[in-house]
Each structure stands twice: as C-alpha cells, then as structure tokens.
C-alpha cells in the first residue's frame, strides 16, 4: 500500500462554549507511529446533501411542469397558477420516499465504525482465544481509532475489522484510564477509509435524538435509536473500582459489545463514546440507561484540542 498523507480528526462547525476537559497524557507510541498531520476539509453532513437533492428534484419537476404546459396548452386554455405549482410540489413530496433521520445518521457513520476484538493465548493449548469484543470509531483516516480501554485491557493481540471487511492487527498508542478510553492504531487500512466527524456537546440537550452503533454481543454492525436522557451524569462500575463523571446519559439500546462505539446525532456526527450501561443485576444487559463519554474528553485522549 502506497504512502498516504495523514489527516487530522474532523470536527463539525458547531460552536462550543464549553472548555476542554483536563486529560491524561497519551501513552508513548511505538516507533511506527504515523507522520505529522495536515488539515482536512470538513465533510458536509449527509442530511444536508439529501435535502439539496430533494429540492433540486422538486425544482426540476416544477420546471418540467411549466415547460410542458406552456407548449401543450391550446390557445385560450387556463393559465398556470400558483396553486398548480404548489400542487405539483406537494405531489412530489407525497410520493418521494426519503430515508429516515436515523437511516441517514447510520449511513453517515457506518464507514467509520470498526469491530474490535482482543485475544490472549491459552496457556494449556497455546492457541489464541477471544478475550473481548467491542466497537471502535475511526477519528483520523490513517487508522486512528477510539474505543474503550476495558475492551482491550489485558489483550495480547488486537484485531480490528473495518466496514469494508478489511481486517488488521492494531496496537494501543494512547490511553485515558479515567474515562475508560483507548486509542488504537491499525497497521493496515482501507484505501478509502473515512474518519467520523466529531461534534461539540456544548449545544447537546436532554431530549435530543441520538443513535448508538456497535456490535452488541458481537452482532453487527447494529444500530439503535433513542434520546439524550441527561447530561453530566456519574457512573460507578459494578465492582466499584472506577467512577466516571460528566457522562452523557442516553436510552438507545446498548449491550456488551457496544462498548467503544459512537453515539451520534441525527446528522451522523459523534458526540460521545458509549462506555457503560446501568444494570443492578448480574445480567449486565440493557434496561434503559446507558452512558457515553463526551467527545471532548475522547478527542483529548489522542492529544488533539477539541473544537
């Protein structure tokens, strides 16, 4: 694979008044760390493109109606009125089948979602066995991936699978233990790898729709929709070993395997990294309360100033 120019993480144009959260310094990277970054142009959200195409189609249909009527009407025929134009536009809106906001968000984020699997060597058989399954999201198109630290902690070998099916080994190039975050670097990447766009949580509000994408119980990529249930929440792990604060609470279904996956807006922009679910039973399954680390914290895990 030829040399590819490294590009920085993408951020949406949303303004933010929130100060960056203090972070732990990334762990030292092995010698094969990527080269220096260069600027990357922001991508237009998918929904904006869909709307432009819709209105272009409406405009084209309206012009076609005007053109047809102007040449086919006999002398003395009724002139085209505003009501005729409105009826033509309404007919187009009624018959056009558009994807739902959740579908557009899923299509936007999917190329940046990866499956993350950790392996260890069984001492008895000397064979590699699956240690843990989670999700990650590409934030720099040179193969820099965000996931949860608990997904890869203790793994002797890490493998990531990209959206196009390409598999690659990966190594941990940085960590932020206080927020259960790990930064991975894939050794191989697709030629057309897309980085997700990150969006500030400064204007995120309770009730906003969100989408969680990942590999629950290893099945996926799977998507679930819900809303932001609350902000600046705290969560203590079931074992009581770690407590995290300033979390996004959401009710989109998440289960083991969703850990490390993106929580995105209906624009397909990442506002958080799914990190935990609240369940007081031993089942450890979703009962309606999930938590995500705000993307401001996650971005600093790789030493990038967010927004």
Catalytic residues: 150, 180, 259
Residue 197 — left, alpha, or beta (φ > 0 → left; ψ -120 to 50 → alpha)?
beta
CA–centroid distance for 158 within its chain: 21
Look up residue 248 and give its DSSP letter: E
Contacts of 98 (CB under 8 A, 6+ apart): 50, 54
User: Within 10 A of 92 (CB to CB), how many other CB atoms are there?
Assistant: 17
DSSP per position, 108-149: HHGGGEEEEEEEEE-TTT--EEEEEEEEEEEEETTTEEEEEH
- Give CA separation, 39 vs 8, 30, 42, 175, 306, in Å: 6, 24, 9, 24, 14
> Residue 153 in contact with residue 139, Cβ under 8 Å?
no
d(CA 69, CA 115) in angstroms, rounded, equals 55
Expressed in angstroms, the distance from the first to the final Cα of the chain is 32
d(CA 198, CA 214) in angstroms, rounded, equals 17
């Amino acid at each position: 694979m030829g040399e590819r120019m490294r590009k920085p993480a993408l951020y949406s144009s949303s303004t933010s008044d929130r100060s960056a959260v203090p972070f732990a310094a990334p762990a030292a990277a092995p010698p094969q760390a990527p080269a220096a970054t260069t600027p990357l142009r922001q991508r237009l959200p998918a929904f904006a493109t869909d709307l432009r195409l819709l209105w272009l189609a409406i405009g084209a249909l309206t012009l076609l109606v005007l053109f047809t009527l102007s040449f086919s009407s006999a002398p003395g025929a009724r002139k085209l009125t505003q009501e005729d134009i409105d009826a033509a536009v309404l007919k187009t809106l009624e018959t056009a089948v558009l994807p739902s906001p959740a579908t557009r968000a899923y299509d936007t984020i999917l190329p940046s979602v990866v499956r993350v699997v950790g392996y260890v060597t069984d001492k008895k058989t000397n064979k590699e066995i699956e240690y843990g399954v989670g999700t990650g999201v590409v934030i720099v198109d040179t193969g820099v991936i965000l996931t949860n630290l608990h997904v890869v902690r203790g793994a002797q070998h890490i493998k990531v699978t990209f959206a196009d099916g390409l598999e690659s080994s990966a190594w941990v190039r940085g960590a932020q233990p206080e927020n259960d975050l790990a930064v991975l670097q894939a050794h191989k990447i697709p030629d057309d790898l897309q980085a997700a766009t990150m969006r500030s949580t400064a204007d995120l509000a309770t009730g906003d729709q969100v989408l969680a994408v990942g590999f629950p119980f290893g099945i996926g990529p799977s998507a679930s929709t819900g809303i932001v249930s609350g902000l600046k929440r705290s969560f203590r792990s079931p074992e009581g070993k770690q407590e995290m604060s300033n979390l996004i609470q959401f009710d989109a279904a998440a289960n083991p395997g969703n850990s490390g996956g993106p929580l995105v807006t209906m624009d397909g922009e990442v506002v958080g990294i799914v990190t935990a679910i609240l369940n007081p039973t031993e089942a450890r399954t979703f009962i309606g309360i999930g938590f995500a680390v705000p993307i401001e914290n996650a971005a600093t895990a790789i030493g990038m100033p967010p927004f």
